[in-house]
């Protein structure tokens, strides 16, 4: 009976979450009602029966969160000899061995049996809140029994079978595909991910439970209903080595990708006695597999240019099969690496997939007499400009070659691509971007925001000259909508997507936070203070302040053009203190669909702010109003608003809220 009650709680919690926050319900209303009826019969006073809505807000997704127990890494061994030496040093068997799943690590936190938070690994201390997605994972219960409070460590894995379902073309490997799904804000396809638990920190009466062994930990995880990472207990070193070899031989037939085996001293007390070095426990190691490799011929080298001006050599190879995929190119990193390898065109080379993913030339296996040297560029192959070696943060010259011409067209193109990629503007692949650059004379990312007036031309754009394929009305509309969706950006998104070297979105966020209000506006970023040594050190970039300021100054015209073309930069949201602490949360407004007036969503941001309201992109239970052009709309936002009881209003009512119609941008 208790087991059935726990099962009902798990099903009800997941159904509630899917109904209120998921892309679609996971069961009918009748099926859900029958679950509640059964729980009411078995446990009439269960607190879950009084729960309104879902306990996991979808808008928590991808906000930063701190782990209760730091998630460190493991030391590695690369050979049988290293493994035996580690075992001898660690005190010997028994040894707990398990598969090292090729996925993404995360932790789940439970209180009185209920899942309250899931956090991605991040840097081991700070990760991203993925609770709204994790509750949909296979193998991760939303309810595990009232007796459990604590943390679970698990690997998020896209199995081979589910990989085929979500990515039939196998355009990505399952690790990257799974990580991408796990980080989606809308939770799409998260039900295809599986959580495999491998560690536990259970709390009772305010203290951690002392498990005697790793085997005991996994037994407890199984008792709680988690999927377990496949494992075994080995009584001798030879048994552990045999287990490793058997797994290595069968890895291509397993249900999911792995990249090695994790071996732990089974005795937990002995593990703890061995201690930790640099965050890595001495009582555990990861024995990774050798990367798959093959011999081929280096037939040519091409140089690609990046948005920062870097010139990167790429090997063109005679196609060769490695691990089931055909490889025909590989990065050579830089021209210093070419000299170190002493590699030339025509050489036979040994190619591996580093971490089973990235093709890499690691050595030369044959040098024919007619081999041709790979020449280091003395001028930029794209603009003919001066070439130099990039300086490192210490002021020394590094190994990267770069074009010194600020007007190099490759830099401009690279920065446009950087903007598109950083903001996840869908629909603009390489061929589409190339055609757009040629047809519309796009000079920088700001020009993307003036394409709306040329929608007809965009639809007629030829994106494949050989086959005469045009972009078409539907794809053109999709691209313009995707661009319009990025017209309102946070300050960190805006600056971090410009392609300024050493100034990505996360670094900008950290600098804003460290500045304590002194970098909250674009004007403050453009005032030149980053060249002040004290200020640069205060915001965490003592060696990069000057270069970042130079990059911002160099992008001044683009920034002005972005603003003129209707891009809105929002100010950072700061914690509320003092007199503001007792105020009610600001009312929020979501606008869905094309407005009858032809105005854009961003036109209403400033007027809403002026009356104390905030424009948001998604509908949650905190949303005050949803603006719909058509009150009968069946869009996902409209349906969710109806479920949550969010008030639906027209644009005319919105105009009344803000005290008059705003001028269209």
Is 268 among the domain residues? yes
Q: What is the per-residue DSSP string for 489-558? A: EEHHHHHHTS--TT--HHHHHHHHHHHTTTTSSHHHHTSSGGGSHHHHHHTT-TTTHHHHHHHHHHTHHH
Alpha carbon 324 to its chain's center: 26
CB 522 within 8 A of CB 491: yes
Question: Same structural domain for residues 220 and 365?
Answer: no
Sign of the torsion angle spanned by Cα atoms 87, 93, 99, 101: negative
Q: What is the per-residue DSSP string for 23-58? A: SS-SS-HHHHHHHHHHHHHH-TT-GGGG--S-SS-G
Q: What's the token pair of residue 101?
A: 């799943």
Domain hosting 306: range is 293-405
Domain boundary pick from 405, 436, 455 = 405
Residue 429 has phi, psi (to 5 degrees) of -80, -175
CB 54 within 8 A of CB 19: yes
Q: Which pLDDT does position 370 carry in this prediction?
A: 94
First to last CA, the chain: 63
Domain boundary pick from 549, 570, 591 = 570
Is 575 among the domain residues? no
Residue 95 has phi, psi (to 5 degrees) of -120, 135
Cα–Cα distances in angstroms (integers) from residue 473 to residues 451, 454, 478, in the given order: 14, 12, 9
Question: Same structural domain for residues 206 and 326?
Answer: no
Q: Kindly give the parts of the chain with pLDDT less than 50.
A: 23, 57-59, 576-583, 665
Question: Same structural domain for residues 269 and 301?
Answer: no
Alpha carbon 39 to its chain's center: 38
Question: Same structural domain for residues 200 and 239?
Answer: yes
Question: Same structural domain for residues 32 and 64?
Answer: no
- Burial class for 400, CB neighbours closer than 10 Å (0-12, 13-18, 19+): buried
Q: What's the token pair of residue 439?
A: 């047809």
Q: Which pLDDT does position 298 carry in this prediction?
A: 95
Question: Same structural domain for residues 494 and 607?
Answer: no
* pLDDT tens sequence across 533-589: 889 888 888 888 888 998 888 888 889 889 988 899 988 866 544 444 444 556 888
Q: What's the token pair of residue 389?
A: 């070696």
Question: Same structural domain for residues 149 and 63?
Answer: yes
* pLDDT tens sequence across 605-639: 878 877 778 887 777 777 888 888 776 676 667 77
Give the CATH number for residue 26. Answer: 1.10.287.610
Give the CATH number for residue 250. Answer: 3.30.470.30
Question: Same structural domain for residues 495 and 629?
Answer: no
Domain boundary pick from 535, 550, 570 = 570
Is 214 among the domain residues? yes
Structural domains of the chain, count? 6
CB 10 within 8 A of CB 46: no
Is 664 among the domain residues? no
Is 179 among the domain residues? yes
Give the CATH number for residue 360. Answer: 2.40.50.140
Q: What's the token pair of residue 281?
A: 């426990």
CB 203 within 8 A of CB 209: yes
* pLDDT tens sequence across 227-266: 999 999 999 999 999 999 999 888 878 999 888 899 999 9
Question: Same structural domain for residues 653 and 513?
Answer: no
Question: Same structural domain for residues 475 and 506?
Answer: no
Give the CATH number for residue 627. Answer: 3.40.50.10190
Is 605 among the domain residues? yes
Is 665 among the domain residues? no
Q: Which pLDDT does position 577 carry in this prediction?
A: 45
CB 472 within 8 A of CB 459: yes
Number of residues in the chain: 665
Q: How many CB atoms lie within 10 A of CB 619?
A: 27
Quote the pTM value: 0.49
Question: Same structural domain for residues 386 and 462?
Answer: no
Question: Same structural domain for residues 596 and 650?
Answer: yes
Q: Which helix (H) or strand (E) holds 196?
A: strand 194-204
Is 663 among the domain residues? no
């Amino acid at each position: 009976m208790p087991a059935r009650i726990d099962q009902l709680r798990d099903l009800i919690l997941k159904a509630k979450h899917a109904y209120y926050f998921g892309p679609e319900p996971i069961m009918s209303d009748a099926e859900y009602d029958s679950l509640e009826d059964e729980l009411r019969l078995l446990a009439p006073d269960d607190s879950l029966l009084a729960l309104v809505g879902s306990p996991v807000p979808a808008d928590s997704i991808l906000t930063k969160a701190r782990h209760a127990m730091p998630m460190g890494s493991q030391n590695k061994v690369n050979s049988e000899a290293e493994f035996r030496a580690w075992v001898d040093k660690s005190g010997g068997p028994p040894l707990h061995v398990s598969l090292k799943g090729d996925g993404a690590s995360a932790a789940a936190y439970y209180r009185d049996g209920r899942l309250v938070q899931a956090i991605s690994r991040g840097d081991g201390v700070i990760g991203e809140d993925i609770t709204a997605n994790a509750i949909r994972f296979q193998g991760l219960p939303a309810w595990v029994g009232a007796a459990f409070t604590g943390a679970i460590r698990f690997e998020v894995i896209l199995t081979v079978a589910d990989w085929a379902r979500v990515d039939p073309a196998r355009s990505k490997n399952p690790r990257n595909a799974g990580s991408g799904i796990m980080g989606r804000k809308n939770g799409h396809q998260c039900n295809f991910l599986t959580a495999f638990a491998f560690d536990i920190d259970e709390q009772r009466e305010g203290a951690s439970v002392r498990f005697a062994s790793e085997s005991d930990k996994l037994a407890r995880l199984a008792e709680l209903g988690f999927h377990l990472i496949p494992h075994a207990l080995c009584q001798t070193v030879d048994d552990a080595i045999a287990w490793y070899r058997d797994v290595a031989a069968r890895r291509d037939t397993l249900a999911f990708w792995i990249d090695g085996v994790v071996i732990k001293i089974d005795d937990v007390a002995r593990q703890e006695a061995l201690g930790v070095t640099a965050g890595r426990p001495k009582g555990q190691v990861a024995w990774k597999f050798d990367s798959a490799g093959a011999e081929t011929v280096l037939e040519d080298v091409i140089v690609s240019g990046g948005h920062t001006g870097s010139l990167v050599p790429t090997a063109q190879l005679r196609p060769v099969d490695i691990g089931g995929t055909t490889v025909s190119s590989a990065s050579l990193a830089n021209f210093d690496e070419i000299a170190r390898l002493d590699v030339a065109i025509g050489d036979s080379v040994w190619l591996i997939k580093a971490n089973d993913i990235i093709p890499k030339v690691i050595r030369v296996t044959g040098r024919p007499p007619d081999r041709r040297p790979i020449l280091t560029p003395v001028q930029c192959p794209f603009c003919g400009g001066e070439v130099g070696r990039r300086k490192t943060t210490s002021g020394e010259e590094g190994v990267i070659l770069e074009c010194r011409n600020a007007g190099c067209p490759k830099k401009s193109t690279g920065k446009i691509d950087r903007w598109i990629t950083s903001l996840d503007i869908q629909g603009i692949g390489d061929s589409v971007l190339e055609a757009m650059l040629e047809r519309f004379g796009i000079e920088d990312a700001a020009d993307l925001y003036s394409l709306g007036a040329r929608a007809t031309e965009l639809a007629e754009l030829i994106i494949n000259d050989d086959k005469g394929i045009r972009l078409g009305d539907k794809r053109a509309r999709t691209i313009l909508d995707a661009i319009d969706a990025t017209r309102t950006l946070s300050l960190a998104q805006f600056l971090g997507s410009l392609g300024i070297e050493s100034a990505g979105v996360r670094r900008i966020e950290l600098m804003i936070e460290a500045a304590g209000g002194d970098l909250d506006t674009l004007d403050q970023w453009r005032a030149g203070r980053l060249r002040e040594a004290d200020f640069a050190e205060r915001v965490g970039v003592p060696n990069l302040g000057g270069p970042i300021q130079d990059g911002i100054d160099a992008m001044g015209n683009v920034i002005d053009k972005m603003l003129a073309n209707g891009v809105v930069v929002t100010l950072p949201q700061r914690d509320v203190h003092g007199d503001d602490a007792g105020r009610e949360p600001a009312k929020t407004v979501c606008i869905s669909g094309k407005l009858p007036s032809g105005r854009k969503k961003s036109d209403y941001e400033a007027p809403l702010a002026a009356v104390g309201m905030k424009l948001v992109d998604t509908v949650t239970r905190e949303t005050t109003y949803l603006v719909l052009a058509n009150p009968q709309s069946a869009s996902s936002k409209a349906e969710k608003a109806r479920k949550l009881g969010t008030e639906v209003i027209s644009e005319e009512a919105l105009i009344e809220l803000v005290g008059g119609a705003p001028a269209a941008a």
